[in-house]
Structure formats: structure tokens, C-alpha cells
Amino acid sequence: KIDGCTFGQAFRKVILPITLPGIAAVGVYALLFSWSELMYSMSILTTKSKQTIPTFLQLFVGQYQTRWGPLFAGSILATIPPLIIFMILQKFFITGLVSGSVKE
């Protein structure tokens, strides 16, 4: 027991705030690695209605010609959701970086 807390209270008030920056970092890295998984999605997904963004962008690259305009436009649009998620979770990263070094 920590200061008379039950296990659930100690977990919620002590352990979870300490581990939250690490959990957020792992979540962002897992999202980014799965977001750009091209070969796995090309081998699993067979219908066009279930294509992921990287497999859709791969259609702009041909054998003799690459359509650079739509490819770059799609790439910019594909980076927006991970960027928004990172901006939302950024406070957890900063909290994790300064934890233990700054007194509150």
C-alpha cells in the first residue's frame, strides 16, 4: 500500500501518470509503422474498396511514367492524420521529457 491507497488508486494516481508518456510514444510509433506498411497490405488486400493509402498511392507509379502531382498530393494528405495525432499526444511527450527534472 502507498499512503493508504488501494491497488487501483495507486495505479491510477502513481503508475499511470509515470507510464503515460511511454505508452503515447509506443502508440505513435506503432501507428506510423503500420500506416506505411505497403508490402503487407498489397499481399493481403485484393479488392480496391479495401485499399490502404500507400497501396492507393502506389497506383500512380507506372512502369514508364510516374504521375508526380497526384502522388505528392496524396502523400501530403496521407501525412495529415498522423500529424494531427502527434499534435494531440505531444503534451505527453513533453511531460515525459521533463519528468523528474522540473519541480511542480
Instruction: Please report the pLDDT score of residue 104 as a whole number.
Output: 53
Residue-range domain boundaries for the chain: 7-98
Q: Which of 10-19, 40-49, 68-77, 82-91 has the lowest mean pLDDT?
A: 40-49
Q: Are 97 and 103 in contact (CB under 8 A)?
A: no
Candidates 17, 20, 18; CA nearest to 28 is: 20
The winner for highest mean pLDDT among 7-21, 38-52, 71-85 is: 71-85
Q: Please state, in angstroms and as integers, the Cα–Cα distance from residue 52 to each residue in 13, 14, 44, following that order.
A: 39, 39, 11
* % of the chain beyond a pLDDT of 70: 87
Mean pLDDT within 73-91: 86
Q: Are 41 and 52 in contact (CB under 8 A)?
A: yes
